[in-house]
Amino acid sequence: MRNYLMGLILAVGAVLAVPPVILAQTTPPSGAAAKATPDLSGIWSRPGFHAELTNPDGSPLIPPMQPWAAEISRARSRAREGGDSNTWAIDPRLACLPSGLPRSYLERSTFELSQVPGRLIQIFEAARTARIIYTDGRKQAEGYPASFLGHSIGRWDGDTLVVSTVGFNDLTWLDRGGHPHSEDLRLVERLRRVKQDTLEVDILIDDPKAYTKPWGGKVAFELRPDWELLENFICMEHFDQDHLPVIRRLTEAFSKP
């Protein structure tokens, strides 16, 4: 027994005598030594007014549409100019509905990103719509109720957050040009902070029912550290100025024989 106790004491003493540096080498890195997850938090705003996705040279981006999608897009464009009599062609934003995606990134777009463990919370200033991008490793939801912003999951690819979104309803347009989508739409976004004050969002629209091949473009946003989202930025406050004149014009066009 005495020999057993003596051996145990010597063993413990040997462990305690190991230099701290050697012990530290057996411990997984943490803090600054661990690879940090990029932080996309902040309020981001798109400078200028861009109603649709464009080519790198700024020219209009014409997606490769299936025949039915092309017909709907043309009808919606005519309705915006007051030359079509199909009431279904009216822009849903005129009814104060959420813009959906990717349209929420276009036009006068400002949003806030809040990054917390397991998810990224995105709040768009227009209509104060909120979106959750799950980054906890869960799978894409099946049977998820269709909605304006769908169901989103994200994963990190280096310094880029790759987001996959499905489950969109049929009430939104992809952009102001009236490009439609089907229930099979899958939106893939790649969010990357290319500079401290610049966020780049690469958008890929994959919807084989509506388009002959995937298409999309890039949108850049500037960090607005001194901004706050406007709580009173709701559709009805801009109804008389921004929406009512257009609705009256469309109504007059629809009433013509």
For the chain, the domain total comes to 1
Please report which helix (H) or strand (E) contains residue 79, including its range: helix 67-80
Note the pLDDT tens digit of each residue in 168-222: 998 899 998 889 999 999 999 999 999 999 999 999 999 999 999 999 999 999 9
Residue 245 lies in a domain: yes
The whole-angstrom separation of Cα 188 and Cα 140 is: 12
Residue 98 lies in a domain: yes
Domain span at residue 70?
Answer: 42-255
Residue that is written with structure tokens 């957050």 in the block:
161
Is the confidence at residue 88, as pLDDT, over 50?
no
Residue 129 lies in a domain: yes
Residue 24 lies in a domain: no
Is the confidence at residue 83, as pLDDT, over 60?
no
Residue 112 belongs to domain with CATH number: 2.40.128.20
Question: Phi-psi bin for 216: left (phi > 0), alpha (psi -120 to 50), beta?
Answer: left
> What distance, in Å, lies between the first and last C-alpha atoms of the chain?
108
Residue 249 binned pLDDT confidence (cut-offs 50, 70, 90): low
> Can you give the pLDDT at residue 23?
30
Residue 201 lies in a domain: yes
> Can you give the pLDDT at residue 42?
97
Please report how many Cα atoms fall inside a 13 Å half-sphere around the Cα of residue 21, on the Cβ side: 0
> Can you give the pLDDT at residue 236?
58
DSSP assignment, residue 232?
T
Does this model's pTM top 0.85? My answer is no
The whole-angstrom separation of Cα 178 and Cα 229 is: 27
Between residues 116 and 142, the one the model is more confident about = 116
Please report, as a single letter, which amino acid is at residue 128: R
Residue that is written with structure tokens 């768009």 in the block:
124
Note the pLDDT tens digit of each residue in 136-183: 999 998 888 999 999 999 999 999 999 999 999 988 999 988 899 999
Between residues 224 and 79, the one the model is more confident about = 224
Please report, as a single letter, which amino acid is at residue 2: R
Residue 181 lies in a domain: yes
Residue 179 lies in a domain: yes
Is the confidence at residue 132, as pLDDT, over 70?
yes
Residue 238 binned pLDDT confidence (cut-offs 50, 70, 90): low
User: Mean pLDDT across the stretch 117-133?
Assistant: 92
The whole-angstrom separation of Cα 86 and Cα 78 is: 10
The whole-angstrom separation of Cα 112 and Cα 45 is: 9
> Can you give the pLDDT at residue 119?
97
> Can you give the pLDDT at residue 177?
85
Is the confidence at residue 228, as pLDDT, over 80?
yes
